[in-house]
Amino acid sequence: MTRPFAQGHSDPTVQPVPASVVEQVDAADTTLSNPKWAVISIGSNLGNRLETLQGAVDALEDTPGVRVKAVSPVYETEPWGVEPGSQPSYFNAVVVLKTTLPPSSLLERAHAVEEAFNRVRDERWGPRTLDVDIVAYADVTSDDPRLTLPHPRAHERAFVLAPWHDIDPQAQLPGRGTVAELLSAVTRNGIEARRDLELRLPE
């Protein structure tokens, strides 16, 4: 069931699940037979950032063949790859889920969730209402240009590694090593844990 937003907002994720996704999982497969683990990074630096991230978590949970298992603390992050002060700061978090969707269908759903929140792709490193990235999918490694696994820059991004480490200190990034080791090798400058904010794990 889709969860309501705060008063005055309509839920933009109330839309048909793409037909290809439905075909992959035979509609709502609540048993999740033989699921795989996946790690998703979410971020927003436009609009109501916390509400948007919560909406993304809820939309992932509402996807047939997906069950959200853990949601990280929220981090506030300086924008990546742009001049300091040229964009609002991001709220970032990591979601760990189990899914029967293959990586290609999970990517399709990630893009659909972004579009539901009016994501615009006009410029590289541009501001965005919502960014949904697949960081890792089980132990899969792939050089497919449409979906490189694991994410090709995850190992150098503290705003991915820190929240992931918070919810799974033993996590490993396939082909790169432990998240703890990777996190110790990158700077945490420009990211701050927002302990005053919280994303709800879907019921």
Question: Which residue ranges in the chain fall short of pLDDT 70?
Answer: 1-32, 81-86, 119-127
**Which of the residues 119, 176, 188, 194 is marked catalytic?**
119
Give the H/E segment covering residue 116: helix 103-116
133 catalytically annotated: yes
109 is catalytic: no
Amino acid at 3: R
Annotated catalytic residue 29: no
pTM: 0.80
Catalytic residue among 58, 62, 109, 133: 133
CATH code for the domain defined by 34-193: 3.30.70.560
Given a contact cutoff of 8 angstroms between Cβ atoms, the answer to whether 73 and 136 are in contact is no
Any idea where the domains of the chain sit in the sequence?
Answer: 34-193
Which residues, 6+ apart, have CB-to-CB distance to 167 below 8 Å?
70, 71, 72, 94, 96
Burial class (CB in 10 A: 0-12, 13-18, 19+), 26: exposed
Given this model, what pLDDT does residue 129 score? 84
- The per-residue pLDDT for range 122-157, each reduced to its tens digit, is 455 556 789 999 999 999 999 998 999 999 999 999
